[in-house]
Amino acid sequence: MIVIADIDHLKELELPLEELERAKKMTHQASRERYLAGRYLLRGSLAEYLKIRPCDIPIALGTTGKPFLPQEEIHFSISHTERVVAGVFSKQPVGIDLEQERKLDFPALARRFFSPEEVSFVEASESSTDFFRLWCAREAAIKGDGRGLGQLLAETRVSVPWDTSREYLSVHVQGQKWSVFPWMLRGGAHGAAAFLVRPRVIHWCDLGELLL
């Protein structure tokens, strides 16, 4: 399931003390609001599934810093950009990424972070939409893997050019194939959810009329 929400419309929930303390230490207001929104969406969604209070959900961190639920067969990932937050939940490994489209030197960034095939694709396309779709697809798959950008950025490949008749992109992270579902939101935000096992159906919950 994918849940998308406007940060300003999320219902506040009771959070564990350590998460409240972490939020208090954030001096940048926008960062603090996005962090809290992610906690509200994550704990609110999991509480519906687990049937327990949001603040009682035992979220732990793995050795690479990726959060998980001990003794629960559910995987999740959270991302936010500007005033939007999104989460993906599944019984298989998943990752999600959001990016607000903005002016960037796409060819230079592609040459720095993308594979040669992706660089050629971006340079030939000259499309900001294609660049952000690639960027989100890569980040979503890397977040699903959980070992972090530092280890995996240079070893991640998106199959290009993609088949526009298909809903999913193929992303390879150190040879492991992820199926990534891209989309766009109102206001120019790009999103992508990565699935290690491609789902037959994706259930959506749009809490702010954000989908195009």
pLDDT value of residue 147: 87
pLDDT value of residue 132: 96
Q: Which of 149, 147, 129, 128 is nearest to 139 (CA)?
A: 149
| DSSP state, residue 196 | S
Are the C-beta atoms of 101 and 132 separated by less than 8 Å? Answer: yes
Are the C-beta atoms of 83 and 189 separated by less than 8 Å? Answer: no
Domains of the chain: 2-8+72-206 (3.90.470.20)
State how far the alpha carbon of 125 is from the alpha carbons of 35, 100, 163, in Å. Answer: 35, 19, 14
pLDDT value of residue 75: 95
pLDDT value of residue 154: 85
Provide the whole-model pTM: 0.94
| DSSP annotation string for 106-163 | HHHHHHHHS-HHHHHHHHHH--HHHHHHHHHHHHHHHHHH-S-HHHHGGGEEE-SS--
The one-digit pLDDT tens for each residue of the chain (212 residues) are 999 999 988 989 999 999 999 999 999 999 999 999 999 999 999 999 999 999 999 999 888 888 999 988 899 999 999 899 999 999 999 999 999 999 999 999 999 999 999 999 999 999 999 999 999 999 999 999 998 877 788 899 999 999 888 899 999 999 899 999 999 998 899 999 999 999 999 999 998 888 87
Is the CA virtual torsion 207, 208, 210, 212 positive or negative? Answer: positive
What is the greatest pairwise CA distance in the chain? 51
pLDDT value of residue 208: 84
Give, in degrees to the nearest 5, the angle at Cα 114 between 137 and 160.
Answer: 60
